[in-house]
Amino acid sequence: MDIVTAEQMQQLDRQTIQDIGIPGVVLMEHAGRGTFEQIRRYFPDVSARRVAVVAGKGNNGGDGVVIARYLLNHHTAVKVFLLAQADRVSGDAALNLRAFQRMGGIVQEIPDERAWQEALPEIKSAGLIVDAIFGTGLQATITGLAAQVIEDINKSGIPVVAVDVPSGLDATSGQVQGCAIRAQLTCTYGLAKRGLVIYPGLLLAGKLEIIDIGIPAALIRGATLREHLLEDADFYGKLPARAPDTHKGTYGHAFIIAGSPGKTGAAALAAQAALRVGAGLVTIGVPEQLNPILEIKVTEAMTEPLPESEKGYLGSTSLQRILEVMPGKTVMAIGPGISDRAETAQLVHALIESVELPLVIDADGLNAVARNPEVLKKAKAAVVLTPHPGEMARLMNTTTRDVQADRIGIARTFSSAYGALVVLKGARTVIAEPGGHIFINPTGNPGMASGGMGDVLTGMIAGFMAQGINPLLSAQCAVYVHGRIGDALAAQRGNRGIIASDIIDNIPAALQQFTGS
């Protein structure tokens, strides 16, 4: 599903009105009617409820008045509470306000906080509130009357339907501009706004419905839309089918450089995940002292004991052996549990500069890269980085707070600067590719906040890439399926106690469900 910024949606609106010649009042009519239909679907008893439409003086308020008109026409007790004097309303909104009144609709003007307090008991007696105060054009922090209105609506406990976006929510960043409505349902117009599908806006929007308001498809196709919310349809038929005359060599060989004392589990999880997504062969490159542990831990993967820089740790002394056993491998993953020692970081840099295979770099591999991200520009093939917010902060030499405040911007900036595909993990994982395109993952839940989940994801990405699947699709499919499995487990068991191996065990069934193979 394509998503847009507020500015992009406003541009599409302008082009529709000015270039195509579809009047704004027609778009407003489609918006209001579409929202009315969703209200009837979500609240089938709406005719038995009293509905309060709280409207601003702009076009968002005009959309709300159209909704009120349809409710009135379907025998619903509805009243518009206008947060302005009626003579301050202009354009298409004024046209619809007059039409509503001529149909017998009641409009109560609320020009100040005193008028609001007088109207509040009636609003609190409503069975549904329509929030039509502010839309995507809101720029300033909300104060005064509007802030009081939003606070009182949120305190009321009455279900709220938001028009386009919850009032007070920045439609692009998802941040709250002082205060914002908490809606049970948001009906957004034309295309999904970015701020509605990322945190914290996601928490305020409730259920999200996209209303077709008549923006011409040709305009949407011609727009430079570079952000997308992943969904099932993105993966149907995308993974190659398995022909009956193939063998393990057909499906690639993943080489996973992983493990240090106390962290052999990371290596095992990554290897098992790579096998579960269909890699034909997996070899774990492991410090030679730890090889006996991995031989016992992992049955189906092979191990390659590597020379150590010191007891149990990989370093520059491991490089020659790694290069010697490279022939036949189709992807390399670096990082799960390898430690952040200086000697190990030197090895990571040397591998990035010398290995001609696609690379997946995670965990301590990322910490090594953070010492000098310029090394990524020396990579000889595609690089996929899978940082969590803390690792991303180290890569960008900033704070975790700054990363979380602009996850899309941070991931896009780093990816473009260093030519690597970035998978910024966390709630609503962001995938950024060097060309500037962004993919947001809607799957996953807090039950997946446990050790080893990142190692599983690394193995899944590497396992897909081992089979010759391009890095972007490998990352998208791995992230999406990883989260969907977690969601299914949470639905079955609750979101406590889900562990990384639970994800691995369910990968084949998930791939069957989403891709048919």
DSSP lists the bridge partners of residue 302 as 283
pLDDT at 489: 98
The verdict on residue 261 lying in a domain is no
Q: What is the mean pLDDT of residues 58-70?
A: 98
- Position with higher pLDDT, 239 vs 196: 196
Residue 74 lies in a domain: yes
Q: Looking at the structure, tell me whether residues 472 and 508 fall in a common domain.
A: yes
- Whether the per-residue pLDDT at 169 is higher than 80: the answer is yes
**Percentage above 90 pLDDT, the chain:** 96
Judge whether 252 lies within some domain: no
Query: Is 167 a residue whose pLDDT tops 60?
Result: yes
Q: Are residues 272 and 187 in the same domain?
A: no
Residues 219 and 274 occupy one common structural domain: no
Say if residue 285 is in the same domain as residue 206.
Answer: no
- Residue 515's pLDDT is 64
Is pLDDT of 228 > 80?
yes
| Any domain includes 204 | yes
Same domain, 189 and 80: yes
Query: Which of 162, 191, 225 is the endpoint of a domain?
Result: 225
| 19 pLDDT above the threshold of 60 | yes
Residue 273 counted as domain residue: yes
Please report, for the domain that includes residue 295, its CATH number: 3.40.1190.20
Residue range 13-25: mean pLDDT, rounded: 98
DSSP letters, 54-110, are EE-SSHHHHHHHHHHHHHHHTT-EEEEEESS-GGG--HHHHHHHHHHHHTT-EEEE-
Nearest to 415 by CA among 468, 372, 377: 377
Same domain (yes/no): 108, 143: yes
pLDDT of the residue at 501: 98
Domain end (from 172, 195, 225): 225
Residue type for position 367? N
Entry pTM:
0.95
Same domain, 191 and 236: no
pLDDT tens track for 437-467: 999 999 999 999 999 999 999 999 999 999 9
**Same domain, yes or no: 213 and 351:** no
pLDDT value at 514 more than 80: no
Nearest to 463 by CA among 276, 285, 237: 276
Q: Do 206 and 333 fall within a single domain?
A: no
Question: Domain range holding 97?
Answer: 2-225
Mean pLDDT computed over 239-260: 94
Burial 95-133 (b: 16+ CB within 10 A, else e): bbbeebeeeebebebbeeeeebeebbeebeebbbbbbbb
Q: Do residues 236 and 197 both lie within one domain?
A: no
* Pair (326, 452) in one structural domain: yes
Structural domain includes residue 352: yes
Q: Is residue 256 part of a domain?
A: no
CA 206 distance to own-chain centroid: 15
Q: What is the pLDDT of residue 516?
A: 54
The CATH number assigned to the domain holding 191 equals: 3.40.50.10260
Give residues with Cβ within 8 angstroms of 292, minimum separation 6.
none
Confidence of residue 5 (pLDDT cuts 50, 70, 90): very high
SS3 content of the chain, % helix, strand, coil (to 5): 50, 15, 35
Q: Tell me, yes or no, whether 80 and 213 share the same domain.
A: yes
* pLDDT tops 80 at residue 23: yes
Residues 159-170, mean pLDDT to the nearest whole number:
99
Asked whether residue 182 is domain-assigned, the answer is: yes
Q: How far apart are CA 168 and CA 176, in angstroms?
A: 6
Please give the average per-residue pLDDT across 165-180, as a whole number: 98
Q: How many domains does the chain fold into?
A: 2
Among candidate residues 225, 253, 281, the one where a domain is terminated? 225
pLDDT at position 513: 81
pLDDT at 517 over 90: no
Task: Give pLDDT, residue 241.
Answer: 85
Could you check whether the bond before residue 200 is cis, i.e. omega within 30 degrees of 0?
yes
Span 461-487, average pLDDT: 98
Q: Region 159-179: what's the mean pLDDT?
A: 98
426, pLDDT greater than 70 = yes
pLDDT at 161 over 70: yes
Per-residue pLDDT tens over the stretch 379-404 = 999 999 999 999 999 999 999 999 99
Mean pLDDT of 347-354: 98
